[in-house]
Chains A and B, each alone.
Chain A
Amino acid sequence: MTEERFIDLVRVEQGPLRRFLLALCGGDSALADDIAQDSLVRAYVASGSFMGLSSFRTWLFRIAYNCYVDHRRKKHPGQAPIDGSEALNLEDRNTSDASFRYQQLHQALDRLSEKERTAIILFYFEDRSIKEISSILGIPTGTVKYHLSIGRSHLKEHLSL
């Protein structure tokens, strides 16, 4: 794949990719962009091995997810949860109620396990199908459904506290 062709594809995919990583990183946009850059370099280096068996977006999201996991392992070897207050950077909201609800939701998301949070983010924020999520996370579809179900239950618990 040529550099120009790759850049053209990235131009289309950069929004969803950065949004996915932004949600995963609890609103830390600088960190999300760093991981996105790292993912894109890895994807470009590996672009020769892209067979087109899945869509470019699914393939790119899988690389991005692996980069995110690598980063978490380096920064938080004990899988310590990200501070929920980082979610404050996500976006300015017009009303204080909406803003509060928004922060509360993203703080609750940060309290989920990595797989649950990723499955919820991909399913509800990125509108990815169960099959695509299974391909991105590298787990069977049944396990994705399990993580979604458990994630929803945990999220409801955290939000009702």
Chain B
Amino acid sequence: MNDIELEKLLRKNRPAVKDDPAFLLEVRQRLDAVEGIKDEVDRQRRHGRSTILIALFIGVATGIIATLFFIAFPLVNVKSLQAGILASLSLWKPYLAIVVAIAVMLLSIHTGNSSAIIINKLHFLLPGKNSEDNQSTH
């Protein structure tokens, strides 16, 4: 067999692919899932940014209030004020573990919820979906 015969054989036997509307439909679904993930990531990023800004604002506001307080009441003894705050906190000491546990639970629920949204959208993008579906139908 020479090169020309081989070329003829190859060109004559190129595989044919039929147009499949389901293919484009699935592409669209996957791209929608990608867009969904992008939106969710953007939403979480915005949420994180606003949380940082709020924390920053609260910190600055508390600092300003404290500064104004000490300007207004210069005779207040800082050490005794701190001691008073610590004493009131020590009253709540037995309940501290419960407060921390509740905070951890809330944080876990929030994180789990955010992860579930992304994982549900990622499901569309997992490779091997078609071949697994086909194998299960055969």
Which chain A residues in 1-28 approach chain B with CB under 8 Å?
Answer: 3, 6-7, 10-11, 14-15, 18-19, 22-23, 27-28
Q: How far is the CA of A35 from the CA of B128 in the complex (A)?
A: 8
By a CB distance below 8 angstroms, the chain B residues around A97 are none
Closest to B16 in A: A91
A156 to B10, CA, bound (A): 11
- Give the interface size bracket for B toward A: 20 to 34
CB contact under 8 A between A90 and B15, given known A18-B23, A34-B130, A45-B34: yes
Tell me if A120 counts as interface (CB < 8 A to partner B): yes
- Name the segment of B25-33, B86-94, B99-107 touching the other chain: B25-33
Q: Number of A residues whose C-beta is below 8 Å from B?
A: 40
Please report the number of residue pairs spanning A and B whose Cβ atoms sit closer than 8 angstroms.
96
The answer to whether A155 touches B6, judged by C-beta atoms less than 8 angstroms apart, is yes
Minimum CB–CB distance for A112 against chain B, Å: 12
Chain B residues within CB distance 8 Å of chain A: 1, 3, 6-7, 9-11, 13-17, 19-20, 23-24, 26-28, 30-32, 34-35, 125, 127-131, 133-135
3 closest Cβ pairs, A-B complex: A124-B10, A125-B14, A30-B134
Question: 9 A–B contact pairs at CB < 8 A?
Answer: A3-B28, A14-B19, A14-B24, A23-B15, A30-B135, A34-B131, A37-B130, A44-B34, A91-B15
